């Protein structure tokens, strides 16, 4: 017997949280541009610039399409990233994260990427194809250190479920306070830089080389959808990092403090993802761009080496 | 929301987030870096340089246009999506500037694509460029920046002029005749 | 009925072989014959505790069949494991035959005859209950594959298949002989093995013999040559179906004949038998190296061949770990691989049928011309890349879970990276063949090629929604190995580490798609020409002599990084072994001098040694 009232409430909460995610993503876009501008001694746009940009793109009078495969990009990228967000525990609130695990999230993140790649390929522009090639190779590069750290955590916490990892970090037993995972957090933060496509790993976008790569043919509402994907992507990826290493931003337990805990946790979560994003922005502001082989070598030689040390540490330390 | 309010909202959004593509044909490109960087910082108006015309709203033609480059300008302009605005930059786009008697250079850009704002000068200083942006905002706000509508309306005239120019019959290029009636 | 089936198959072989001049007729006859194993499968469904409605079981097959031969008895009997693999092969085989009816325009009788023989061989292998029967049918299968490889006509493919096929057969035969020497019986059920080194040697030989057919590294050398130089429907069956027989053999001997507890007695590491551990490591290496090599290929069939090798590596990982979770994952991966790789090879065949090209850099833009082929291969590609909107994900997920559960800290990252690497080569297929600049003005593939592709896509969708049904299928198999099936409901799978609810994923995805669709419909759009691209203002028609399709040397930076590590491939290793063998052989050949005096000295020496030995003993 399905409880329809509960189901409706759950769906409404899911819609609300997704909308909140998109809203925060757009806000982050403005904040990022403001911070970058301040680092470069400029005034910068207002922090609500992200909302204006997206609204403008969706109010463009005419839009072009290169065919139905091209349209798939807009659909899959927005839907896929929202789906990935639903499977993440946000500030300790697990919407659907009990129904899947970290492997699922890692593969759900591939839905928007592949959809996007389909649309970019369908546009027939060689720049887009080169951009996708670079994006996929960057993905290959940063995934190795990232999965090394994630697998070390899975074995340490003896679960693959992100919700359980967040639970086990409750009461401020954050993973980052464990020495080995402090190093792990540094490794994963480097991987996050590639995931967020910030410099020095903004190789796929590279506006000056390949005219924004995959996005070269996108305009109007299609570009708006892609911007939503990119902005939400920031929230999803930083939340993944915060869930893994910073206990998902949970500092008050819900059973003890009730509604207050939700509010406080959400605020802490917001501040933490902002902080993680801020670090990425600082690195972004001062570095030039790697070439793709250099990025691959950086990740697989140095970052993955540290990741390997973490794996050995866990391998020796954890007895079955 | 009724149509009037909707288009007003669209105009406001469009004004506050003009993405620019600059077509650097001549020396005018030199004046763009100060406009973008910390001295003048056009990003505080939400303006941003974009890489491709599909993404852009405002088209900056910086400098003289040879017939050959005009082909590219028309191609880029037609790839931009409505609403789109054009800023003619420097004297060259107004009357040919120092190339006024060249056999190979078009003289008046507005005969080939509709231009919303001109900036006079050779070269115009960054202050002038910023002023033109503000003027464009003002025009968008009032609904006067309707170059893209004109291009649709008098498409055959623009096309004819472009064809004449491409075949080097520059003396046969005529002014765009606008109907007084709406 | 089993005798009748074998007889019908053999008659079919003769009939279609004689109908060489009438390919369509031969194809249709072969198609009807090829359906018989599937009916047999339906009538045997009670083995898997499935009750089918009676109108599906109109042919009644006996469950076991015996024939007395001098040294032993030939026994064919249906088992759950055999049923499962027969499901894969017998549902793939008619589709492949159906595809070939329109694919071959002439000279196809030999093809159908050899195909029927391979299916007969596989049918026997899957039912065999003793080593004699197993080996006889294994040889039937192997030799008829050779006939099909010879039809491809590439010398390197024939030689490599012949040598590796012989190596495989020798290894298996040697292993069987050791087992017979140890136990004195051919019948699996009557073998009572102990933890002696002889049994370990036998099982190692047998597993490495099957690894040749399963294309595990470094025994994979034949696969890329054969896959890329044979006819497409056959390759689809070889990669999708016949390569599974290697893993069927590994599973049968590792868990059916030897058993998990006996495997553990040769040493365990963290709860995993060392034997299985090494198999898992080899599998992980195969998955990674196969993926990297696939990314570097330009020939569509070679790419798919290396991708096959990589994906089959995952099955080896699962069989190596050997927990119920891992075995379920391995079987699931076998099922998915059967269907998605067959679809991809058939799609490659359809593309070749229309364009006559196999090189990815020469294809392009077929997505709009052949939309149904494109969509079918898109689904297959989603399954290959384990995107959670097909059943491909559940299999990989089970394997990852099994690896984490047994704390495979170094194998799991390699598996995941191989999974990410799969995105690289599937995008190469997508972009190079189906997207981008339209270069060919061709029609959609004929209906008789589309129908098999779409039927083969169906299981990928069914088992996406109901992975629990699949786990139900594995329950009787695992029961035979004294294991219990993993906890599940029709649409959820639980492990000790996490839970996977497909219904949540699907409904959430539909919900978010609706959200995205509303956004997408918010504004009208116009379609522009495919070539209306931004190229810094250059109209493409000015440059029609430059191809805008960037698929040539698509992953050049990747190749720059990885090629130095992979240029001395496994082929080089085998060449060195071959050279060493030649040196040894030519040295040994010097004994045969051809002089009678020398030979008499040898005889004398031999006699002296024998006498000396006897005296010393």
Residue with token string 């500030």:
A91
- Is B72's Cβ below 8 Å from some Cβ in A? no
Inter-chain contacts counted by CB atoms under 8 A, chains A and C:
254
Q: Which residue of A has its CA nearest to B17?
A: A53
The model's pLDDT over C450-463, given as tens digits with 9 standing for 90+, comes to: 888 899 888 888 88
DSSP, collapsed to helix, strand or coil, labels residue C222 as helix
Cα dist from C330 to B117, C236, C248, C394, whole Å: 67, 20, 11, 11
Residue pair C445/C350 in contact by the 8 Å Cβ criterion = yes
Chain B residues within an 8 Å CB radius of C536: 72
CA–CA distances in Å: residue B54 to residues A216, B21, B79, C128: 7, 10, 6, 64
Q: Are B113 and B158 in contact (CB under 8 A)?
A: yes
- For A228, the token pair is 């939503």
Give the largest Cα separation in chain C, rounded.
101
Cα within 13 Å of Cα(C227), Cβ side = 32
Per-residue pLDDT of A207-225, as tens digits, reads 777 778 788 888 788 888 8
**HEC string for C442-493:** CCCCCHHHHHHHHHHHHHHHHHHHCHHHHHHHHHHHHHHCCCCCCCEECCEE
Contact between A125 and C548 under an 8 Å Cβ cutoff? The reply is yes
Name the token pair of B16: 């506050």
Chain C stretch 388-407, residues whose beta carbon is closer than 8 A to a beta carbon of chain A: 388-389, 393, 396-397, 400-401, 404, 406-407
Q: What is the mean pLDDT of residues C321-336?
A: 88
Q: Which residues in C210-364 belong to E strands, given as ranges?
A: 268-269, 272-273
Q: Do A49 and B44 touch (CB under 8 A)?
A: no
Cα(A242)–Cα(A246) distance, rounded to whole angstroms? 5
- The model's confidence at residue C540, banded by pLDDT at 50, 70 and 90, is low
Give chain C's contact residues with B (Cβ, < 8 Å). 532, 534, 536-539
* Beta pairing partners, C68: C73
Q: What is the mean pLDDT of residues C475-483?
A: 84
In this structure, what token pair is assigned to residue C594?
């051809």
For residues C396 and C334, is the Cβ–Cβ distance under 8 A? no
Count other C-beta atoms under 10 Å from residue B166's C-beta.
14
CA distances to C3, C119, C615 from C125, in Å: 15, 10, 50
Instruction: Give the closest-approach CA distance of C517 to chain A in angstroms.
Output: 6
A:B CB pairs within 8 Å: 85
Residue C263: count other Cβ atoms within 10 Å of its Cβ: 21
pLDDT at position C541 is 62
Q: What mean pLDDT do residues A145-170 have?
A: 86
Name every chain A residue with its beta carbon within 8 A of the beta carbon of B130: none
Of A222-226, C49-53, C421-425, least confident by mean pLDDT is C49-53
Q: Does B149 touch chain A (CB under 8 A)?
A: no
Is B182 part of a structural domain of the chain? no
- Which residue in C401, C411, C413 has the most chain A C-beta atoms within 10 A of its own C-beta, making it the best mutation to test that interface? C413
- Which chains neighbour A (Cβ–Cβ under 8 Å, 3 or more pairs)? B, C
Q: Which two tokens stand for residue C23?
A: 């390919």
* Residues of chain C above pLDDT 70, percent: 97
d(CA C592, CA C14): 46
Q: Which domain holds residue B61?
A: 3-172
Q: Indicate yes or no: CB of C534 within 8 angstroms of CB of A318.
A: no
Query: What span, in angstroms and rounded, lies between the C-alpha atoms of C575 and A242?
Result: 52
Q: Is residue B104 part of a domain?
A: yes
Give the chain A residue whose CA is nearest to the CA of B50: A207
**What is the Cα–Cα distance from B155 to C131, expressed in whole angstroms?**
83
Q: Are A279 and A189 in contact (CB under 8 A)?
A: yes
Say if residue A206's pLDDT is above 80.
no
Write the pLDDT tens digit of every residue in C147-167. 888 888 888 888 888 888 888
**Closest Cα to residue C506, out of C388, C369, C365, C398?**
C388
pLDDT score at C487: 83
Residue C503 has pLDDT above 80, yes or no: yes
Is C537 close to B54, i.e. CB distance below 8 A?
no
**Hey, are the CB atoms on B55 and A52 less than 8 Å from each other?**
no
> Which one, of C409, C339, C346, lies nearest residue C380 by Cα?
C339
Task: Name the minimum distance, in Å, from the CA of B151 to any CA of chain A.
Answer: 14
Residues in C closer than 8 angstroms to A140, CB to CB, are: 417, 420-421, 423-424, 558
pLDDT at C221: 81
* Closest chain A residue by Cα to residue C433: A121
pLDDT (average), residues A235-245:
89
Chain B closest-CA separation from residue C434 CA (Å): 24
The pLDDT value recorded for residue A55 is 85
Q: Spell out which residues of chain C touch residue B52, defining contact as CB-CB under 8 Å.
A: 534
Measure the CA–CA gap between C42 and C63, rounded to whole angstroms. Answer: 12
| pLDDT score, position C261 | 82
User: Is the Cβ pair C404, A101 closer than 8 Å?
Assistant: no
CB C134 within 8 A of CB C210: no
Average pLDDT of every residue of chain C: 84
Least confident of A78-92, A135-149, B25-39, C164-178: B25-39
Nearest residue of B to residue A58, measured between CA atoms: B10
Task: Give the three-state DSSP class for A174.
Answer: coil
Judge whether B83 is closer than 8 Å to chain A, CB to CB: yes
* Shortest distance, CA B76 to any CA of chain C (angstroms): 5
CA distances from C465 to A80, A170, A242, C351, C437 (A): 18, 34, 31, 30, 35
CA distance C516 to C513: 5
Tell me if B162 is assigned to some domain.
Answer: yes
In whole angstroms, what is the distance from residue C565 CA to residue C561 CA? 8
pLDDT at A261: 83
Per-residue pLDDT of C257-296, as tens digits, reads 888 888 888 888 877 888 888 888 888 888 888 898 888 8
Q: Which residue of C has its CA nearest to A162?
A: C498
Cβ-proximal residues to B168 (8 Å cutoff; 6+ apart), any chain: B67, B103, B104
- Decide if C124 contacts C86 (C-beta within 8 A): no
Q: Which residues of chain B have a CB within 8 Å of the CB of A221?
A: none
Whether A130 contacts C550, CB under 8 Å: yes
pLDDT band at C61 (very low <50, low <70, confident <90, very high): confident
Asked whether C399 and C317 are in contact (CB, 8 A), the reply is yes
C380: which residues sit within 8 A by CB, 6+ positions away?
A: C339, C340, C341, C343, C344, C347, C457, C460
Q: Quick one: closest CA in C to B77, which residue?
A: C537
Q: Chain A contact for B85, CB < 8 A?
A: no
Regions of chain B where pLDDT drops below 70: 1-2, 180-182
Angle at A48 between CA A45 and CA A54, to 5 degrees: 100
> Rounded distance, CA A104 to CA A233, Å?
16
Question: Of A18, A104, A216, which has the smallest distance from its Cβ to C500's Cβ?
Answer: A104
- Per the CB < 8 Å rule, is A60 touching B17? no
Residue C112, pLDDT score: 87
Range of lowest pLDDT (B159-163, C29-33, C573-577): C573-577
pLDDT at residue number B180? 62
Quick one: tokens of C152? 């491809």
pLDDT (mean) for C462-474: 85
Chain-chain contact of B54 with A42 (C-beta, under 8 angstroms): no
B13 — contact with chain A (CB < 8 Å)? yes
Of C77, C64, C72, C65, the C-alpha closest to C186 is C72
Alpha carbon separation from C69 to A243, B110, B143, C141, C274 (Å, rounded): 66, 97, 97, 21, 38
Kindly list the residues from chain C whose CB atom is less than 8 angstroms away from the CB atom of residue A293: 557, 560-561
8 Å CB contact of A126 and C528: no
**Cβ contact C512–A98 (<8 Å):** no
Q: How far is C535 from chain B (nearest CA, A)?
A: 9
Return all residues near C581 (Cβ < 8 A) that are at least 6 apart: none
CA distances from C177 to B65, C122, C182, C185, C198 (A): 86, 22, 8, 10, 11
Cβ neighbours of B9 in A, within 8 Å: 55, 59
Q: Give the nearest partner residue to C498 out of A161, A221, A314, using CB atoms.
A: A161
Q: Dig out the tokens for B14 from the structure.
A: 């469009």
The b/e string for C346-382 (b: 16+ C-beta within 10 A; e otherwise) is bbbbbbbbbbebbbbbbbbbbbbbbbbbbbbbbbbbb
Q: Tell me the residue ranges of DSSP E strands in chain A.
A: 64-65, 89-90, 93-94
Nearest to C273 by CA among C284, C264, C262: C264
Q: What is the 3-state secondary structure (H, E, C) of chain B?
A: CCHHHHHHHHHHHHHHCCEEEEECCCHHHHHHHHHHCCCCCHHHHCCEECCCHHHCCEEEEECCCEHHHHHHHHHHHHHCCCCCEEEEECHHHHHCHHHCCCCCECCCHHHCCCCCEEECCCCCCHHHHHHHHHHHHHHHHHCCCCHHHHHHHCHHHHHHHHHHHHCCCHHHCCCCCCCCCC
Q: Does C301 touch chain A (CB under 8 A)?
A: no
Structure confidence at residue A197 (pLDDT): 86
Name the residue in chain B with its Cα closest to that of A208: B51
* Residue A56 at interface with chain B, using a CB cutoff of 8 Å: yes
Q: How many helices (H) and strands (E) does chain C have?
A: 25, 8
Closest Cα in chain C, distance from residue B180 (Å): 31
pLDDT at A47 (0 to 100): 86
CB-based contacts of A246, cutoff 8 Å, min separation 6? A174, A175, A176, A272, A276
Interface mutation target, options C532, C533, C537, chain B, most CBs of B under 10 Å: C537
Q: Nearest CB to A293: which of C500, C534, C561?
A: C561
Q: Which two tokens stand for residue B171?
A: 């003396």
Structure tokens at A233: 């992507």
Chain A nearest-CA distance from B110, in A, is: 22
pLDDT at A1: 54
Residue numbers of A between 12 and 41 with CB closer than 8 Å to B: 33, 37, 40-41
The closest CB to that of A75, out of C365, C505, C520, belongs to C520
- The CA distance from A304 to C313, in Å, is 23
Give CA–CA dist A30/A47, Å, rounded. Answer: 4
The alpha carbon of residue B4 is apart from the nearest alpha carbon of chain A, in Å, by 13
Tell me: pLDDT of C27 over 80. Answer: yes
Per DSSP, what are the bridge partners of residue C64?
C77
Closest among A185, A82, A196 to A138, alpha carbons compared: A196
Residue A266 confidence (pLDDT): 85
DSSP string across A110-158: HHHHHHHHHHHHHTT-HHHHHHHHHHHHHHHHHHHHHHHHHHHHHHHHT
Q: Which chains touch B (3 or more CB pairs under 8 A)?
A: A, C
Only one residue has tokens 């490591």, namely: C281
Assign residue B25 the CATH number of its domain: 3.40.50.12280
Report residue B118 as tokens. 């001109």
What distance in Å separates residue A33's CA from the closest CA in chain B?
A: 9
pLDDT at position C545 over 60: no
Q: Write out chain B residues lying below 8 Å of A218, CB-based.
A: 54-55
Report the chain A residue with the minimal C-alpha distance to residue B79: A64
Cis peptide before A24 (omega within 30 of 0): no
pLDDT tens digits, B135-159: 888 888 887 878 888 888 888 888 8
The pLDDT value recorded for residue C461 is 86
């Amino acid at each position: 017997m399905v409880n329809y009232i509960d189901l409706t409430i759950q769906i409404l909460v899911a819609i609300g949280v997704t909308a909140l995610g998109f809203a925060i993503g757009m806000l982050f876009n403005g904040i990022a541009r403001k911070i970058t501008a301040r680092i470069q001694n400029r005034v910068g746009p207002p922090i609500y610039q992200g909302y204006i940009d997206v609204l403008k793109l969706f109010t463009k009078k005419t839009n072009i399409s290169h065919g139905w495969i091209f349209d798939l990009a807009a659909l899959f990228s927005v839907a896929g990233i929202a789906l990935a967000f639903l499977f993440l525990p946000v500030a300790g609130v697990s919407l659907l994260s009990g129904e899947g695990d970290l492997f699922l999230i890692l593969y759900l993140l591939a839905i928007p990427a592949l959809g996007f790649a389909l649309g970019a390929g369908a546009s027939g522009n060689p720049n887009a194809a080169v951009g996708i090639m670079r994006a996929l190779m960057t993905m290959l590069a940063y995934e190795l250190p990232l999965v090394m750290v994630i697998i070390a955590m899975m074995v340490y916490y003896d679960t693959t479920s992100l919700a359980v990892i967040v639970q086990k970090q409750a009461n401020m037993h954050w993973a980052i306070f464990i020495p080995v995972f402090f190093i792990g957090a540094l490794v994963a933060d480097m991987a996050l830089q590639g995931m967020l496509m910030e410099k020095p790993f903004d190789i796929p976008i590279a506006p000056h080389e390949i005219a924004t790569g995959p996005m070269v043919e996108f305009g109007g509402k299609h570009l708006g959808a892609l911007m939503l994907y990119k902005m939400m992507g920031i929230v999803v990826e930083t939340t993944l990092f915060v869930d893994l290493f910073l206990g998902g931003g949970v500092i008050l337990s819900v059973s003890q403090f009730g509604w207050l805990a939700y509010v406080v946790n959400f605020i802490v979560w917001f501040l933490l993802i902002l902080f993680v994003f801020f670090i990425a922005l600082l690195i972004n502001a001062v570095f030039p761009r790697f070439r793709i082989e250099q990025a691959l070598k950086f990740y697989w030689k140095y970052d993955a080496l540290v990741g390997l040390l973490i794996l050995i540490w866990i391998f020796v330390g954890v007895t079955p | 929301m009724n149509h009037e309010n909707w288009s007003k909202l669209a105009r406001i959004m469009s004004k506050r987030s003009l993405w620019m593509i600059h077509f650097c044909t001549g020396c005018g490109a030199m004046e763009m870096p100060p406009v973008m960087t910390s001295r003048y910082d056009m990003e505080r108006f939400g303006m941003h340089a974009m890489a491709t015309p599909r993404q852009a709203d405002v088209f900056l033609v910086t400098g003289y246009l040879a017939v050959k480059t005009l082909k590219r300008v028309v191609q880029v302009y037609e790839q931009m999506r409505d609403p789109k605005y054009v800023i003619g930059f420097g004297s060259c786009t107004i009357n040919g500037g120092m190339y006024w008697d060249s056999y190979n250079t078009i003289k008046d850009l507005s005969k080939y694509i509709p231009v919303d704002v001109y900036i006079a000068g050779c070269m115009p200083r960054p202050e002038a460029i910023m002023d033109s942006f503000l003027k464009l905002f003002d025009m968008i706000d009032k609904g006067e920046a309707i170059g893209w509508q004109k291009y649709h309306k008098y498409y055959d005239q623009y096309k004819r002029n472009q064809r004449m120019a491409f075949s080097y019959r520059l003396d046969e290029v005529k002014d765009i005749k606008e109907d007084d009636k709406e | 009925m089993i005798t009748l089936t074998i007889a019908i198959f053999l008659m079919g072989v003769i009939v279609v072989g004689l109908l060489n001049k009438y390919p369509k007729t031969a194809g249709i006859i072969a198609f009807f014959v090829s359906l018989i194993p599937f009916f047999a499968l339906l009538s045997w469904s009670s083995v898997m505790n499935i009750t089918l409605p009676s109108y599906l079981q109109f042919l009644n097959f006996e469950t076991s069949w015996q024939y007395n031969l001098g040294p032993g008895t030939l026994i064919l009997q249906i088992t759950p494991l055999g049923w499962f693999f027969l499901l894969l092969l017998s549902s793939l085989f008619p589709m492949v035959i159906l595809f070939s009816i329109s694919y071959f325009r002439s000279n196809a009788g030999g093809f159908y005859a050899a195909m029927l023989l391979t299916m007969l061989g596989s049918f026997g292998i899957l039912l065999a209950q003793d080593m004699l029967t197993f080996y006889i049918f294994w040889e039937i299968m192997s030799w008829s594959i050779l006939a099909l490889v010879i039809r491809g006509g590439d010398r390197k493919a024939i030689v490599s298949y012949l040598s590796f096929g012989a190596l495989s057969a020798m290894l298996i035969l040697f292993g069987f002989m050791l087992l017979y020497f140890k136990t004195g019986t051919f019948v699996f059920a009557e073998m009572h093995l102990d933890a002696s080194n002889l049994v370990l040697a036998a099982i190692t030989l047998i597993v490495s013999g099957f690894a040749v057919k399963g294309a595990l590294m470094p025994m994979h050398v034949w696969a890329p040559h054969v896959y890329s130089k044979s006819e497409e429907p056959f390759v689809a069956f070889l990669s999708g179906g016949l390569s599974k027989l290697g893993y069927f053999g590994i599973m049968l001997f590792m868990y059916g004949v030897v058993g998990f507890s006996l495997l553990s007695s040769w040493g365990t590491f963290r709860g995993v038998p060392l034997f299985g551990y090494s198999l898992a490591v080899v599998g992980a290496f195969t998955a990674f190296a196969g993926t990297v090599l696939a990314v570097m290929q330009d020939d569509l069939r070679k790419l798919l061949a290396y991708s096959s090798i990589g994906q089959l590596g995952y099955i080896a990982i699962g069989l190596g770990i050997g927990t119920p979770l891992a075995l379920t994952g391995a079987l699931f991966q076998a099922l998915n691989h059967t269907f998605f790789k067959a679809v991809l090879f058939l799609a490659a065949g359809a593309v070749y049928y229309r364009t006559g090209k196999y090189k990815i850099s020469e294809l392009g833009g077929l997505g709009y011309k052949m939309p149904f082929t494109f969509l079918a291969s898109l689904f297959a590609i989603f399954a290959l890349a384990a995107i959670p909107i097909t059943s491909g994900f559940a299999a990989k997920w089970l394997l990852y879970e099994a690896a984490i559960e047994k704390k495979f800290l170094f194998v799991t990252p390699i598996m995941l990276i191989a999974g990410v690497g799969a995105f690289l080569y599937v995008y190469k297929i997508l972009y190079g063949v189906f997207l981008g600049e339209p270069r060919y003005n061709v029609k959609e593939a004929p209906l008789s090629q589309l129908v098999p592709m779409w039927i083969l896509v169906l299981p990928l969708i069914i088992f996406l929604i109901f992975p629990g049904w699949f786990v139900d299928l594995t329950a009787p198999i695992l029961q035979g190995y004294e294991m219990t099936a993993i906890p599940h409901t029709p649409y959820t799978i639980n492990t000790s580490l996490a839970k996977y609810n497909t219904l949540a994923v699907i409904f959430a995805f539909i919900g978010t798609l609706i959200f995205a669709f509303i956004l997408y419909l918010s504004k009208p759009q116009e379609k522009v020409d495919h070539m209306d691209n931004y190229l810094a203002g250059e109209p493409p028609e000015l440059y029609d002599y430059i191809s805008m399709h960037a698929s040539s040397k698509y992953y050049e930076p990747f190749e720059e990084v990885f090629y130095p590590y992979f240029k001395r491939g496994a082929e080089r290793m085998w060449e060195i072994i071959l050279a060493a063998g030649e040196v040894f052989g030519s040295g040994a050949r010097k004994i045969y001098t051809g002089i009678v005096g020398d030979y008499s000295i040898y005889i004398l020496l031999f006699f002296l040694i024998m006498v000396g030995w006897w005296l010393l003993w």
